[in-house]
Structure 1
């Protein structure tokens, strides 16, 4: 049997210098992919990995991620791909349940795994690769060898790991290579997280064909406008996504026809979506198949005049049966359950023999001993033209936004809450065809209606600790009991209609022309009869797809492109209308921003960095405790009504006035990001001089590297001279340990410096959207000027430093970031993932939030 690794090696022999992988400005040829994957495989084997072992892989999107997966295959081992954004509890369960022997990750995630597994860092592998030759790894793999393990939602309350074999993966790729088809001139976009099985198609299909795979960063994959721009700019010819993803792209105004072939899978394709997509692409393919039969098993080319959207015919070496309850074939045109057999059927579920026996059934239609067919749980029928029509689920499994969900897993986690007796999860489609996960909850004791909203927030928060975001219901309906039919089964038809979008009891109609226009825009995106101008967008059920639609319509109606984040800061029609009418919106505060104002704990005030605003902290803040209030302090001067003071002392004094206006009593807690740490230090000094109680001063990677202007002239030259030697040594160390990250950092840093110099001398005209707007750059320059005058003096305060683990540039004090001499009550260091710029990004923010919240809770206790 030929393996994926062999197919890719063949292409490296045919196209050694052709680009195989592209990620931003980086490219890797087929020869480079082949050679580095061989070296990686040898490094993995040198760490004791044997054929048949299972390796965990938790890395960010990059060429090294793809090469690493290929290397694992070459060792004869199987990989378990980990989405680094999953809750820690879920990740740990998957690692322990699957019996992972070795964990391969990045340095920034290393400490999460090293206590329980042998950990290999991919950065170290890159360095070590120079010690290995690039010869082919002689490992024998048979068709039943495991390629990878993927976890899907489980009916027992825990996810289940599906064991996918090499024969299934190879068969799928070779079949799809023929139909829908791919050739060496194609370019495919890799969008999907590696923990979702369709990612394997995006990664391997181009590489076995001699084509190119372009990696889209996670931020691009979440942004429909960026996806569309990427598809155009990168000359993408094949693009895969779920119906949800394609709908978001349509919502942002995609109208032009693109020379692409679309693969649409993961959930049912509606006729309306099909008709919109088919005129915007060269070819549209509906793809069907569960993880248990290796990604896709049945495919269909959708035509513009199709009256019914079927899933088509099986791929190569695959058979499909429509069976009744007794496993007998039903006549064509009759409805039964879809069973799939053939090369793609997986081995079963890891450590779950009973569930495996229930879903992987002996194939009585085959003469081959041991042949299995997979019970999909989907209803279907064969039409007169031989195509298969999928009619939905037999059981209560749910497909939403391309994810397959066992409702029992969510129900199990809900019932772990102390005040919930029973729980039932359903999928509901509102009148505008928006899909919602609904949780029906039977409380253990009667709930005070006035406290129900707080309980719902607690339930959501608790589920968020255990389940991925897509599995957390948005709507909760409290009922007295689960309705039952006479035979004891749940009577789902008797469940009360969920209240999807609850407007406030104090409904207020729109008054102004802007409010009326905004209300009409929102009513097109959310299924409700009316929306009050004071109703919070997110409390009435607006999700990310609806928000995209609303902001696109706002741009068309008012000619203003507002960022999605504006809806977080101004989450009502009334507030948003004021922003549209008056961009320099006046408020009670000049700089204080309520980010998460509700909660019973001591509020924390987060002070801006040199970027002036606080958008970068939203991911972290959303992961803090539900009872933790958070306010932000954005830069003075942003509203256009005030000049930036000349000194840090004056800036701190003004921010203190804003804080005291909000809370004149205290106690107080502050956190500053980077530059904001210096302002926070000065604010604490001034507040303590007033006799105020300051419980916390936290700094997010604020490095106190005394600038040379604070020294006398002779010492200034001596310090600078000595630093250059230390910088040189650190640069050598970084080249050896983080060569790829350093190369990217230096490229971006030097590019920015050159652009800045050319802009300054008028050689290069600054482009729209490049860096900070001119007025913000002026504010930033004034803040820097104030800092140059600031003299940091030792003070009796304790500082909690949340220090980024990754550092690509030299600093004088890598342990305490220079604060040990100035915080006379001590410095406590908390190591957090990421580097200085991305520590608040989605991949790192949850870990940072958990560490920060623990410190806040200590303060509150």
Structure 2
């Protein structure tokens, strides 16, 4: 049974239950399938069928879910085109995938789609401009989607994932998580990150509800928590970075009983913070090339180490040495994954596909393959797998997989750069941060180099691939055999001077905000009120941490977008003044401190003291 057919079965049992909600409104299972059928009929008229790629450049609305299912119902395969990506990157992806049709929405910048032969603009709820009614099923194709990841050659590479692999994934997690029609899953992941496949489709396959968080809600811990509380969310899958911003915004709502963490290694301290009575915390692992997740395991309380879970159904794990033979228990080796989740390979890259997708000599059937992950693991005495790191230059930042060579290729295209390397260091918040190391033609970067580099990088790479720090060196460190010595790359200087002249805080609010910046960013010098947050190494998640601390300290809800528009201490202080109508910020902070820990009688006495206006 195909995924659309599996979800369609719910139409027979719970037609009037809400299937999807979010920006675009609520859609019952009956309404969802009507919109899917109408759009699929139109897509078939436009030539969509088996193996035909359809680009999805859409905001996070209920219509995004309709589009995914309609492409499949028409027989085609979807290709996510994130509206947040630079125009150049989207063009490369479209050309590589051979996309002739893109589904989009009115709010998406049409410049991102320049040169696309056919564009279909959908309403937020997925309604097509010209309704078509037709048979619900088109010719069955096997390609489900093409997911683009960072590439070591300087270009993104597309992973072709078959539908049968998606069906295996959904079946495996339906058996493990045992979702019911009463469950509500909060979808927070961009469509261009493959873990979105599970959070959008598994609830529908189980008759549950998908609540689609908007891009701004997913990035703002306070908004995300408010949405989870309002919608009585019971299940959430997120990267460690997203779980942390939710914890800092007031904690994980207790209604979220099913908790999945993946995309990068799960630290023990975060696992302990997420463990709670009556909940289950799953550590999930898997590369895009083996269809989202290949292992899943319930995390045990401390002091047990956090290890990779057991393989999901129809999945095999092998730990192999360089000669391709299994290593002994306790020895390190490269993890290879075989089974039903293995993707076809990389689109248009036969040589790279042959190098990473290898014949599986351990499988019973002929023609089966396994994927060489590049992840180093070892088997513990109790038979579990412990993640040790990477065997190559690939890293994970905020859950996104990044090939450092892709960033380095862009850096080397800059005229004055002689040598370039990119490394990863942990910031003050414990999150991995990208650092660019450059040696110029004369040993030093010209004036204004960092701003020019950020502009160049931002035009080619998504925001999460733009380094937060720039370190200039006379020459890059080398090993005795002449290769780059990444271990010798120095940590970024947290005390480095800003390109903006220092201006001291002039109010209590500015003074407190500057202190927040110094702590969150790990700046070892006073932050001036005109310093640019992102020039100092900030990014979207650290910005969300600042917003959460502002709310906790001052009781003022600053929209994340406002912080991006005014990324200075002075600008944020002005936003606080604008949003505060009645009380001085210091008075609010003092009042919040007085309220903490007060009992009912003490609260009543305090409000009597403040008077009717309180």
TM-score per shorter chain, which class? Answer: 0.7 to 0.9
Alignment correspondent of 1:67: 66
Alignment correspondent of 1:33: 32
Question: C-alpha root-mean-square deviation of aligned residues, in Å?
Answer: 3.0
Distance in 2 of aligned mates of 1:288 and 1:80: 23
1:346 aligns with 2:343: yes
Residue by residue, what CA displacement relative to the aligned partner does 1:529-563 show, whole Å, maximum 9, x if unpaired? 33245572523334343344345445555566656
Alignment correspondent of 2:360: 363
Distance in 2 of aligned mates of 1:9 and 1:532: 56
Alignment of 1:382-461 (within 5 A): 382-430=379-427, 432-447=429-444, 451-452=446-447, 454-461=448-455
Do 2:416 and 2:440's aligned partners in 1 also have CA atoms closer than 8 Å?
A: yes
Alignment correspondent of 2:119: 119
- 1:417 alignment partner, SS class: coil
More deviation in 400-409 or 388-397? 388-397
Alignment correspondent of 1:497: 491
1:23 aligns with 2:19: no
Residue by residue, what CA displacement relative to the aligned partner does 1:386-407 show, whole Å, maximum 9, x if unpaired? 2211112111101000100001
Distance in 2 of aligned mates of 1:203 and 1:30: 14
Residue by residue, what CA displacement relative to the aligned partner does 1:186-216 show, whole Å, maximum 9, x if unpaired? 1111221111111111111011111111111
Give 1:546's match in structure 2, choosing from 542, 545, 549: 542
1:531 aligns with 2:526: yes
- 1:525 alignment partner, SS class: helix
- 1:126 alignment partner, SS class: coil
Name which structure has the greater RCO, CA cutoff 8 Å, separation 6+. Answer: 2
Distance in 1 of aligned mates of 2:172 and 2:384: 18
Do 2:494 and 2:524's aligned partners in 1 also have CA atoms closer than 8 Å?
A: no
Give 2:467's match in structure 1, choosing from 444, 449, 473: 473
- 1:175 alignment partner, SS class: helix
Aligned residues: 576
Q: Structure 1 468/562 Cα, relative in aligned 2: closer, same or farther at 3 Å?
A: closer
**CA-CA distance at 1:579 after TM superposition:** 6.4
**CA-CA distance at 1:501 after TM superposition:** 4.8
Q: Structure 1 260/493 Cα, relative in aligned 2: closer, same or farther at 3 Å?
A: same
Distance in 2 of aligned mates of 1:228 and 1:326: 49
Distance in 2 of aligned mates of 1:227 and 1:390: 30
Distance in 1 of aligned mates of 2:567 and 2:74: 53
Residue by residue, what CA displacement relative to the aligned partner does 1:385-436 show, whole Å, maximum 9, x if unpaired? 2221111211110100010000111111111111112211111114552321
Distance in 1 of aligned mates of 2:378 and 2:434: 27
Give 1:266's match in structure 2, choosing from 251, 255, 263: 263
Distance in 2 of aligned mates of 1:331 and 1:427: 31
Q: Structure 1 488/254 Cα, relative in aligned 2: closer, same or farther at 3 Å?
A: same
More deviation in 201-210 or 277-286? 277-286
Q: Structure 1 557/213 Cα, relative in aligned 2: closer, same or farther at 3 Å?
A: closer
Do 2:428 and 2:519's aligned partners in 1 also have CA atoms closer than 8 Å?
A: no
Alignment correspondent of 1:333: 330
Residue by residue, what CA displacement relative to the aligned partner does 1:802-845 show, whole Å, maximum 9, x if unpaired? xxxxxxxxxxxxxxxxxxxxxxxxxxxxxxxxxxxxxxxxxxxx
- 1:26 alignment partner, SS class: coil
**CA-CA distance at 1:108 after TM superposition:** 5.6
Alignment of 1:66-215 (within 5 A): 66-107=65-106, 113=113, 115-122=115-122, 126-129=128-131, 131-133=132-134, 135-141=135-141, 145-215=142-212
Do 1:322 and 1:336's aligned partners in 2 also have CA atoms closer than 8 Å?
A: yes
Q: Structure 1 558/59 Cα, relative in aligned 2: closer, same or farther at 3 Å?
A: closer
Do 2:86 and 2:458's aligned partners in 1 also have CA atoms closer than 8 Å?
A: yes
**CA-CA distance at 1:52 after TM superposition:** 1.7
Distance in 2 of aligned mates of 1:579 and 1:48: 53
**CA-CA distance at 1:8 after TM superposition:** 0.8
Q: Structure 1 389/139 Cα, relative in aligned 2: closer, same or farther at 3 Å?
A: same
Alignment correspondent of 2:6: 7
**CA-CA distance at 1:113 after TM superposition:** 4.0
**CA-CA distance at 1:456 after TM superposition:** 1.0
Residue by residue, what CA displacement relative to the aligned partner does 1:569-595 show, whole Å, maximum 9, x if unpaired? 4824xx589869x948xxxxxxxxxxx
Do 1:438 and 1:477's aligned partners in 2 also have CA atoms closer than 8 Å?
A: yes
Do 1:102 and 1:117's aligned partners in 2 also have CA atoms closer than 8 Å?
A: yes
Residue by residue, what CA displacement relative to the aligned partner does 1:45-82 show, whole Å, maximum 9, x if unpaired? 11122312111122223333212211211222211121
Distance in 2 of aligned mates of 1:163 and 1:249: 33
**CA-CA distance at 1:120 after TM superposition:** 3.0
Q: Structure 1 433/60 Cα, relative in aligned 2: closer, same or farther at 3 Å?
A: closer
TM-score after normalising by structure 2 = 0.86
Alignment correspondent of 1:800: none
Do 2:320 and 2:333's aligned partners in 1 also have CA atoms closer than 8 Å?
A: yes
Q: Structure 1 509/355 Cα, relative in aligned 2: closer, same or farther at 3 Å?
A: same
Do 1:187 and 1:237's aligned partners in 2 also have CA atoms closer than 8 Å?
A: yes
